[in-house]
Amino acid sequence: MSSQATTGNRTLIAAVLAGVGASLCCVAPLVLLTLGVGGAWISNLTALEPYRPIFITITLIFLGLAFRKLYLLPRSCTPGTTCAEPRTLRNQRVIFWIVAALLLALLTFPYYATAIL
């Protein structure tokens, strides 16, 4: 695997982790309540709320870096490698847009959660 493909994968993984971190304060209590876990301690999960803007910023930065890598930078692949195949780039772009949609749904969860609940 080329270093360029590895770097693209790392930025996508970092964006996913930052997005999950940004949504922990809002999604985690809902998931736990859905699973039947309750109690007064569940309100402590909102302790991450002040850090939410930081996680959102990190998520958007990594999504921007992944977009830049997939669409704006020229690809420099050795012929015959997996990176040089057009199918690989197409698959990476599809995965990027799926991950981006899921992350944006997680990041905006507090705004539409009231309509769901």
Instruction: Give, to the nearest 10 degrees, the angle between helix 109-116 and helix 3-34.
Output: 30
What percentage of residues in the chain have a pLDDT greater than 70? 70
pLDDT exceeds 90 at position 101: yes
Q: Is the pTM of this model over 0.75?
A: no
pLDDT of residue 98: 92
pLDDT bracket for residue 30 (50, 70, 90):
low
Residue 59: how many other CB atoms lie within 10 Å: 25
The mean pLDDT value of the chain amounts to 78
Parse the chain into domains and list their residue ranges.
Answer: 3-116
Residue 4: how many other CB atoms lie within 10 Å: 14
pLDDT of residue 29: 67
Tens of pLDDT along 53-98?
888 888 888 889 889 988 998 888 788 887 778 898 898 899 899 9
- CA distances 28 to 32, 74, 90, 109, 112, Å, are 6, 39, 33, 11, 15
pLDDT of residue 82: 79
pLDDT of residue 97: 94
Tens of pLDDT along 3-13?
655 666 777 77
